[in-house]
Amino acid sequence: MRSKRPLRPPQHRDYGEGPFPPEDESAGPEIPPATRLDRPAFRKLVEESLDSIPRKFKELIQNVAVLVEDFPSPDTIRTMGLRSKYDLFGLYHGVPLDKRGSYYGNVPPDVILIYQIPIESACATEEDIREQVRDTVVHEVGHFFGFSDTELRRIERENRKKKG
């Protein structure tokens, strides 16, 4: 799942001698740092998101590993034509359920990757992170069931309209 929100670029500044910027009242409002969770807390959000999937769908999800990584690999960034490692929140690798035939079996698990730092960087609060993790997990599980990005985005838009 690619980011839909404007991303906050990482803040890296060299302040010379000290660790803090010189005081300058004209600098404008300070941008708060992105909310960060430790890996176990983030994984717990991913597990909660998986647990929230309706049982009739969860029962069909077999032989799928769900992993949390900091960022997509450089190869993934290059292959997908991304401009930044912050542009991707999750990725499904595998054979979608609707594309499997009688030949399908004795294969390594499909993989869903959830990228922690891009999600956290796009979110202002822990609740925002929770919502984005759930949206990302559901999106990638949708790919497991054979939905395209176009179909998933249409479904996501419809769901946002119902909420809002």
Q: Which domains does the chain have, with CATH numbers?
A: 32-163 (3.30.2010.20)
Q: Is the pLDDT of residue 59 over 90?
A: yes
The string of pLDDT tens digits covering residues 118-147 is 999 999 999 999 999 999 999 999 999 999
What's the pLDDT at 1? 65
How far is the C-alpha of 146 from the C-alpha of 152, rounded, in Å? 10
Query: pTM of the prediction?
Result: 0.77
What's the pLDDT at 90? 97
Name the more confident of 17 and 61.
Answer: 61
What's the pLDDT at 100? 86
